[in-house]
Amino acid sequence: MESREKGWCWMKLSVGGDPVPRRVVFELFWREAPRASANFFALCRGGHRGAGGGATGLGYQGSSFHRVIPAFLLQGGDITHGDGTGGESIFGGPFEDEKYLRTHSGSGLLGLANWGKDTNTSQFYVTLAPAPHLNERNVVFGRVAAGMEVLRLIENTVQTSFDDVPEPHCRVVVESCGVLEEYAGEDTASQPFPECPQDNHPPLGIDALLESAERLKTEFGNKRFQANRYGDASGYYLTAVRYLKHAASLLEEKAGRGGEGAAPPAPGDRMAAVAAAKLAVYTNLSVCHGKVGDWVGSRRYAREALKFNADHPKALYRFAEAVFRLGGDVDTAWDAAKRCAKLAAHDKLCAELLSEIGDARKTKMKKLSNAMGRWTSDLEVKGKCIEFEDRRSRKRVTVFPMSGGGVSYRIGTNERDRIRQAVVDKAAGSVSFPEIRRTLSLPADNGAALIGQLTEFFAENGVDVTMA
């Protein structure tokens, strides 16, 4: 164990995949809890091998906070299992409790989580309020020196299940961490705004919230975007969104109160300003996520932007690009790209994307045509569907490519719901060949000759054929 009397640690967190710009800095109580401090310090630094050459690369980076309990604590540090059942230490196993020199007297205290006496590992917690019932049971070995507002943000926004585990879309992850030999406080010029707008004292009014959101977007988010620091830019944009949401809630309150004394100013113009600002920030968030290849995030924020203006060319472009890069739903991407091209007729990027999606649609329809042509006649492509006539039954059949790669089959009005139930609505995405044969009136002795062709066609379109 290294011998030292000072040294700070820091963590940068993300919530639901979105980074929080500010870091959390911890002061460690080296003299009072040297083993706990050394363990936490080494795991924040990362790459520790453990006693006797144990697990390689021990560290907190990539681990998560597996418990979020408002008005009590946040718990993390399970670097082996991630759910509170594991943990590791630099000493090769659980280590003993040190003296209980500090009490759980307030928020922001850093303590060791355990399963009883002398069972300390990498798991830790940070208090969000006084917790006297933990006194003489858990060792306090540090405190939050900066970034408590980040933990308050997590406390107030993360949704949890019944057992206090963050929901998957709210997962809290240690994106990066490290140590500091010296610490003189945070540079507030890099982020002069609290993460939660409600933490401003005195409270900000609507106009001040709008101004703060604009500064967060332009002075902080856009500058980092221009420097290709897309993760940092996303963090500032998300903080701007929180300020805009708070402004919107204040406007709704004011509109709901009606005339108290003098009539309040009509909130319409300022609500429109909030909507326009949200549109811009969500579009920028979509761009940031696309730049790092996170097409799911890019699609999510493009959708949010389109809620405020369904005909915004930039948002339409980002949505079409994200949907297309994710694969599967080419038609939705095509529709969005066409709208974008119509609204921005001279946009070169939009025209190029539309051409690329168009080529992909042609390729997809050609594959369908080739597969269907092997066992049908009179094949005809009509827009988003294929129509053909079955050779034996002489029935007209319409095949619709569905979102997510599945296929819906309609064979006559009376059979439509039964076939859809058999093919599309099955959770397993499979359909039996006898069902296909009966529906298309194929003779039983022809099944062996056609099963290979049918299987190939269905597999290309997200449906497994079974012989059940």
Dig out the tokens for 417 from the structure. 């719901």
Q: What is the DSSP string of 303-339?
A: HHHHHH-TT-HHHHHHHHHHHHHH-S-HHHHHHHHHH
Closest CA to 249 of 260, 241, 239: 241
Sign of CA dihedral 37, 40, 46, 48: positive
Spatial separation of the C-alpha atoms in residues 127 and 117, rounded to whole Å: 20
Say what the pTM is. 0.63
Tokens 């060949």 identify what position?
433
pLDDT digit of tens for each residue in the chain (468 aa)?
A: 555 667 899 999 999 888 888 899 999 999 999 999 999 999 999 865 444 444 446 899 999 999 999 999 999 999 999 999 999 999 988 999 999 999 999 999 999 999 999 999 999 999 999 999 999 999 999 999 998 889 988 998 898 988 899 998 889 999 999 999 988 887 666 667 888 888 788 889 999 999 999 999 999 999 999 999 888 888 899 999 999 999 999 999 888 765 444 444 445 688 999 999 999 999 999 999 999 898 988 999 999 999 999 999 999 999 999 999 998 678 899 999 999 999 998 889 999 999 999 888 888 776 655 554 444 444 444 444 445 554 445 555 554 443 333 333 333 334 434 444 444 443 334 455 555 555 555 555 444 444 444 444 455 444 444 443
Sign of CA dihedral 92, 97, 99, 105: positive
